[in-house]
Amino acid sequence: MIKHIKTPLKKFSQKASFLGASLAVVAAALAPVLLITPQARAAQITNRSLTISTAVPSATAVTYTIGDGTTGFKFGTSHVVKGMKFEVCNTAVGTCTHPTGFSWAASGGYTLTNWQDATAFTKTTTNTNDCDGTNVAILCLGRGAASVAENTSAFHKIVITGAVNPDNTNCSSNPNCSFFVRMTTYDNSTYTTGGGAGSQAVDNGTVASSTVQTLTVNAAVAEVLSFCIGATTVDDDTTSVGATCSAVTGTAVDLGTLDTSTVTVSPVSSVSNTGNDRNGVAMLRTNAANGSTISYDAIQDTGSNQLGTLRIPGSTCNALDTTLTDPCIRAQGSGQGVFSAGVERFGMTIAGTNCANATTLYSCSYGSSTEHLQPSASYIGKTGAFCATNTCNTTGNGFAWVQTGGTATQIASSSTVVADEALILKFAATPSITTPFGAYAAKADFVAVPTY
Amino acid sequence: MLKLKKALLILLPAMLLIMQLSSKSQALHLTNHSVKLSSALAGATASHDFQFTYPSTNVVGSVMLEYCAQGALLSMTCNAPAGLDLTGATLTSQTGNTGFTIDAVNSTANKFILTRVPLAGVSTLSTYNFDNITNPSGANTTTYVRIATYPTTDGSGPDNDEGAVAFATVSPFEVGAFVPPFIKLCVGITVANDCSSASGSGIDLGILSTGGPKFGTSQFAVGTNSITGYNIFSLGTTITSGNNAIAAMSTPDVSRRGTNQFGMNLRANTNPAVGADPQGGGTGIPQTGYDTPNTFKFHDGDNIASSNLPTDYNKMTASYIVNINSGQPSGFYATTITYLAVGQF
């Protein structure tokens, strides 16, 4: 740092010099460049350009277009072109070192545009005079039948297919690596030079190109999961329960006062009964493309027997759930069923999948079965339709509840991503005449498992 | 030469960056990856069962499972989820690419390093199940578990393959309900066994005669969740017409032709043929004086039926008989009987 302060001008000068050199290298790397090969006895091909179909190092089946198709190149001398040589080199001038990896071996096409003599060129694969067709970096094209002279005013183009780009060995593995194609025309098809008319090279010129590194744009979409359980007053499949999980609140559904004369189904009025007007809700958002499941596991209460059903907390119940005089309301079990008033049962079902949040992202309608998050068998409140109020019981499939703990019971699944779809959970209970009075509770642990 | 060196000094970092980017992009992504919790309750002690498919056969000496409060990407800062504790966890089972143990040295409260002797991985679904993990304490929060495999045995150096899974911790969801004290009694000429229906409120015994009893029936059903059961009382007077009364059967007796009698019981009788025995699955039974076929009684306020347990419904049929003697004054005789159920809660 001190040195820089002491000799700022010198350092700047050195840096500027180097910067200029760097810019020159970069410019050469990035753009096709017109370069003129100074051969005194030959005329220059002008308006030269080279377009390659891909600049990826070592790319195969690459198309090389000499002449840009709009203006093309012009011959410096009007002559019958019976032979052409395209030699690929690391430098524009001087001794030609062939770039590693380049090959004309599989080349073909040689399509001509705007030539005065349209006779097709064919590849010479032998080492003939000035053109070594055995070298993969040298392309020798001949057409002995040509008879019409190419003029110096027309724009010419030739398209060569099947080339293999150089690798980046010659540039110390830097993929931004320049290379040059030296072109020579002959008035004979045997690539003879040094003679008179009919035995000489006529025009030449060099075009440049470069392989470049592949620009890759990377982005990562992380695994996403948002899952919540709560309570909602929503009792349909189209009214949003909240845009996201942050808007879902509550941890309880209150079924109010049960009576033997009816099957109580959430939501239970807080006015006419002593409920809390709420259904349960389980909302899921995930980009797990391999699907997701939602399961519940009845939390085991203290006390004894039937620990996961609707029960007076801490109480002792009979081992047989058919006993109707203990303070445990009989769980429906894994098999779904419609409840009858006064026949002691407790259960849960899914009234439907609320799609309100998902419809902006994909087609989602519970009635049309286009929801991604679909209730599982035994938890479909009503086939083909949302069951509001108590219709999951009166006209639906009823309820189920597995009260044994330890093994989660799946209630819904998706085979693909889910955008804040919400299961509307309905709970139902009815006591028998002998069900002991008191405050009953059941608790569940809901688990979402996305597979990414 | 000097310029070449300087050029290298400038280009080298860029080349290294390119190489680094290139190296990073070679990490393959795990597939079919998930974590399943035995309990999603915040703060609960749970098992966490991981599964994922190794996408490559690179040598694997360790697997990292890092729990983070935010972000699934390895490149992001990882903050340990509050409350999470892996220190007491055990690796209970593993399948697929196996042979791992928990690296106690390099594992932390929010990170497992599973280690083994480096072996070529198998591109197959593998599972790793852990017990005794304390879940994060936040409810309705998402925790990400970043997964990476390494050729080293301690989770150091560039990873082979990577991915992430996520789980959400929730509050326990509760369903509450209140069962009130029940004592359900219904009365009518006919009632349903469970009191779901009842009809009729009057009995016409026709014209009384000295030649034999006139009789009729009514029904009641009763059930309760009182732990001491219930008692049913019949309240009322004997059958009267103004000041003229037909004597009630104050003690149990059979039907006697030509004798003033008004009585009832709750059994199926043959003399006269009237009534029915109690029905239903409950434990209620007729009480003494009203429980013997062909024997009748009526006394205001008598306990005529009871149960000493919570009981399902019983439907009982009350049979009424009236006999008169020849001196009984004519008139329109009637009475009203009320049934009262009493339970103790």
Grade residue A212 by pLDDT with cuts at 50, 70 and 90. confident
Q: Which residues face B216 on adjacent strands?
A: B320
Grade residue A129 by pLDDT with cuts at 50, 70 and 90. very high
Bridge-based pairing state of the strands A279-286 and A328-329: unpaired
* B230 in reach of chain A (CB within 8 A): no
Mean pLDDT along residues B238-247: 96
Mean pLDDT along residues A337-344: 97
pLDDT higher than threshold 90 for residue B21: no
Chain A residues in contact with B345 by the CB 8 A cut-off are 437
End-to-end CA distance of chain A: 52
Mean pLDDT along residues A55-81: 91
Residue B310 to residue A445, Cβ atoms within 8 A: no
pLDDT > 70: percent of chain B? 92
pLDDT higher than threshold 80 for residue A3: no
Q: What is the CATH number of domain A31-211?
A: 2.60.40
Tell me which architecture the domain covering B28-169 has in CATH: Sandwich (2.60)
Mean pLDDT along residues A202-231: 90
CA distance A136 to A166: 11
Give the pLDDT score at A58.
93
Give the pLDDT score at B23.
39
Give the pLDDT score at A214.
77
Average pLDDT, rounded, for chain A: 90
CA distance A123 to A143: 9
Per residue in A71-92, pLDDT (tens digit) is 789 999 999 999 999 999 999 9
Can you give the residue ranges of every domain in chain B?
A: 28-169, 183-343
Tell which wins on pLDDT, A52 or B14. A52
Residue B170 to residue A290, Cβ atoms within 8 A: no
Q: Do the Cβ atoms of A423 and A353 come closer than 8 Å?
A: yes
pLDDT > 70: percent of chain A? 91
B290 DSSP 8-state letter: S
Per residue in A394-419, pLDDT (tens digit) is 999 999 999 998 899 999 999 999 99
Distance from the A218 Cα atom to the nearest Cα atom in chain B, whole angstroms: 9
Place of tokens 């840096």: A15
Give the pLDDT score at A168.
83
Chain A residues in contact with B36 by the CB 8 A cut-off are 447, 449
Q: Which residues contact B271 (CB under 8 A, 6 or more apart)?
A: B254, B255, B294
Task: Specify the amino acid at residue A108.
Answer: G
Q: What angle do CA B92, B158, B124 make, to 5 degrees?
A: 45
Mean pLDDT along residues A363-387: 97
H helices of B126-264, where? none
B64: helix, strand or coil = strand
- Own/partner pairs for B33-36, CB < 8 Å, 24+ apart? B33/A451, B33/A452, B33/B147, B33/B163, B33/B164, B33/B165, B34/A288, B34/A290, B34/A449, B34/A450, B34/A451, B34/A452, B34/B165, B35/A449, B35/B145, B35/B165, B35/B166, B35/B167, B36/A447, B36/A449
CA distance A203 to A301: 97
Q: What angle do CA A274, A278, A279 make, to 5 degrees?
A: 130
Mutation target to probe the A interface, by most A beta carbons within 10 A, among B225, B226, B308, B312 is B225
Give the pLDDT score at A250.
96
* B179 in reach of chain A (CB within 8 A): yes
CA distance A329 to A310: 5
Residue B176 to residue A253, Cβ atoms within 8 A: yes
Nearest to B176 among A220, A342, A440 (CB): A440
Estimate the share of chain B in helix, then strand, then coil, as percent rounded to the nearest 5: 5, 45, 50
Can you give the residue ranges of every domain in chain A?
A: 31-211, 225-450
B237: helix, strand or coil = coil
pLDDT higher than threshold 80 for residue B24: no
Taking residue A139's Cβ as centre, other Cβ atoms within 10 Å add up to: 27
Give the pLDDT score at A24.
34
End-to-end CA distance of chain B: 104
Give the pLDDT score at A11.
38
Give the pLDDT score at A213.
80
Chain A residues in contact with B126 by the CB 8 A cut-off are none
Mean pLDDT along residues B76-95: 97
pLDDT higher than threshold 70 for residue B25: no
* A226 in reach of chain B (CB within 8 A): yes
Q: Do the Cβ atoms of A444 and A296 come closer than 8 Å?
A: yes
Grade residue B71 by pLDDT with cuts at 50, 70 and 90. confident
Taking the complete model, does pTM exceed 0.90, yes or no?
A: no
* A323 in reach of chain B (CB within 8 A): no
Give the pLDDT score at B26.
60
Using CA atoms, how far residue B47 sits from A108, A288, A450, B40, B130, in Å, is: 65, 21, 16, 10, 5
Grade residue A389 by pLDDT with cuts at 50, 70 and 90. very high
B268 DSSP 8-state letter: -
User: Could you say which residues from 415 to 434 on chain A have a Cβ atom under 8 Å away from some Cβ of chain B?
Assistant: 427, 429, 431-434
Q: Do the Cβ atoms of A426 and A381 come closer than 8 Å?
A: yes
3-state SS of chain A? CHHHHHCHHHHHHHHHHHHHHHHHHHHHHHCCCEECCCCCCCEECECCCEEECCCCCCCCCEEEEECCCCCCEECCCCECCCEEEEEEECCCCCCCCCCCCCECCCCEEEEEECCCCCCCCEEECCEECCEECCCCCEEEEECCCCCCCECCCCCEEEEEEEEECCCCHHHCCCCCEEEEEEEEEECCCCCCCCCCCCCCEEEEEEEEEEECCCCCCCCCCCCCEEEEEEEECCCCCCCCCCCCHHHCCCCEEEEEECCCCCCEECCCCCCCCCCCCCEEEEEEEECCCCCEEEEEEECCCCCECCCCCEECCCCECCCCCCCCCCCEECECEEEEECCCCCCCEEEEEEEEEECCCCCCCCCCCCCCCCCCCEECCCCECCCCCCCCCCHHHHCCCCEEECCCCCCCEEEEEECCCEEEEEEEEEEEEECCCCCCCEEEEEEEEEEEEECC
CA distance B195 to A365: 43
Over the Cα atoms of chain A, what is R_g? 41
pLDDT higher than threshold 60 for residue A32: no
Q: Do the Cβ atoms of A430 and A305 come closer than 8 Å?
A: no
* A267 in reach of chain B (CB within 8 A): no
Nearest to B179 among A216, A248, A437 (CB): A437
Q: Do the Cβ atoms of B222 and B283 come closer than 8 Å?
A: no
Residue A447 to residue B37, Cβ atoms within 8 A: yes
Give the pLDDT score at A70.
72
Tell me phi and psi for residue A198, to 5 degrees: 90, -5
User: Could you say which residues from 73 to 112 on chain A have a Cβ atom under 8 Å away from some Cβ of chain B?
Assistant: none
* B190 in reach of chain A (CB within 8 A): no
Give the pLDDT score at B220.
98
Longest Cα–Cα distance in chain A? 124
Q: What is the CATH number of domain B183-343?
A: 2.60.40
pLDDT higher than threshold 60 for residue A25: no
Residue A434 to residue B311, Cβ atoms within 8 A: yes
Give the pLDDT score at A230.
96
Mean pLDDT along residues B229-234: 97
pLDDT > 90: percent of chain B? 89
Q: Which residues face A177 on adjacent strands?
A: A211
Nearest to B174 among A14, A443, A447 (CB): A443
Average pLDDT, rounded, for chain B: 92
Q: Of A133, A249, A370, A118, which Cα lies nearest the Cα of B140?
A: A249
Give the pLDDT score at A69.
60
Q: What angle do CA A422, A424, A426 make, to 5 degrees?
A: 160
Grade residue B17 by pLDDT with cuts at 50, 70 and 90. very low
Nearest to B163 among A431, A447, A452 (CB): A452
pLDDT higher than threshold 60 for residue A18: no
Residue B177 to residue A261, Cβ atoms within 8 A: no
User: Could you say which residues from 385 to 414 on chain A have a Cβ atom under 8 Å away from some Cβ of chain B?
Assistant: 406, 408
ipTM for the whole complex: 0.84
Mean pLDDT along residues B95-114: 98
Angle between helices A8-30 and B2-25 (to 10 degrees): 50
Task: Specify the amino acid at residue B280.
Answer: G
CA distance B132 to B38: 10
Chain B residues in contact with A440 by the CB 8 A cut-off are 176-179
